[in-house]
Amino acid sequence: PCITQTQVHEPAGMTFAAGLRAILRQDPDIIMLGEVRDHETAETAVRAALTGHLVLTTLHTNDATSAIPRLKDIGPDPGLISDALLGIVAQRLARKICAHCAEPYTPTERDLNVLGLDMKQANPTAWRRGKGCGRCFNSGYLGREALIEMLNIDTTVRQIIYEGSMTDLHRYLSESGFQSFQMAAIEKVTTGRTTVDEVLRVLPHSALYRKRSPIVPNPIVPNPIAPKPPDATLRPIVTNGFKEKTALN
């Protein structure tokens, strides 16, 4: 009850964009759009969000932050995107270590390098791996668990979407404690729920190896050279409110 679903059928003219326009005429409270794949659909979805509707949709990208340039490439004005977005969630399903054959595992240097940890940070006593059994068909894994990356669109992120670059966004997120795929992977591996090999299998390369540049809040200015003692042949004069030194003739 109170839910209406419309099947997309492009040969009959019922595209995502056409269906979305028809839905908006019915004054919905929440709109779930299967996928944004073209300019018309993206533009209509953004404008629907700006007129008081909660719009949920999907995009094909590697991670949460990549949804922003993807939306820009599709076509809506960056100002509209920054106003319309509330949040972006990305997820990958990782296989869980089989609880029936899990055994302690000591992380290698390669494991630590993948996650960007040292041995003290890694909580090595909690690491596990499955040796394989009949219940998991000798795979060492049984079941799946989500690795989730969530980007909250705050005031700073809105400003970056409007007039900044992806480099600016990554710098800001690395400074603000953004819960990235890498953070999710660290949490799952160091609590014995999945393995580094599984993380490498399901996560995009950029999620684990993206370069993170530190934010420099103020530009670095070289130490000023100590001024020389005033020359007796010079006297200060004021021009347009600024002191200058002019040689006496």
pLDDT value, residue 226: 45
pLDDT value, residue 1: 57
On whether residue 235 sits in a domain, the answer given is: yes
Q: What is the CATH number of the domain that holds 97?
A: 3.40.50.300
Beta strand segments in 17-155, E: 30-33, 54-57, 87-97, 102-104, 128-130, 141-152
How many structural domains does the chain have?
Answer: 1
User: Of 195, 184, 198, nearest to 128 (Cα)?
Assistant: 195
On whether residue 101 sits in a domain, the answer given is: yes
Q: Are 29 and 52 in contact (CB under 8 A)?
A: no
On whether residue 2 sits in a domain, the answer given is: no
Q: Are 101 and 135 in contact (CB under 8 A)?
A: yes
On whether residue 133 sits in a domain, the answer given is: yes
Task: Report the alpha-carbon distance of residue 13 to residue 163 in Å, rounded.
Answer: 36
- Please report the sign of the dihedral spanned by the C-alpha atoms of residue 68, residue 73, residue 78, residue 83: negative
The predicted-structure confidence for 67-88, as pLDDT tens digits, reads as follows: 999 999 987 889 999 999 999 9
pLDDT value, residue 235: 44
On whether residue 7 sits in a domain, the answer given is: no
* Mean pLDDT for all residues in the chain: 82
pLDDT value, residue 51: 86
Low-confidence residues of the chain: pLDDT under 70: 1, 209-249
The predicted-structure confidence for 88-107, as pLDDT tens digits, reads as follows: 999 999 999 999 999 999 99
Domain that holds residue 235: 59-215+222-247
pLDDT value, residue 120: 85
| Polymer length in residues for the chain | 249
pLDDT value, residue 126: 94
| Residue 201: both structure tokens together | 């299998």
Beta strand segments in the chain, E: 30-33, 54-57, 87-97, 102-104, 128-130, 141-152, 234-239, 242-247
On whether residue 146 sits in a domain, the answer given is: yes
On whether residue 113 sits in a domain, the answer given is: yes
On whether residue 208 sits in a domain, the answer given is: yes
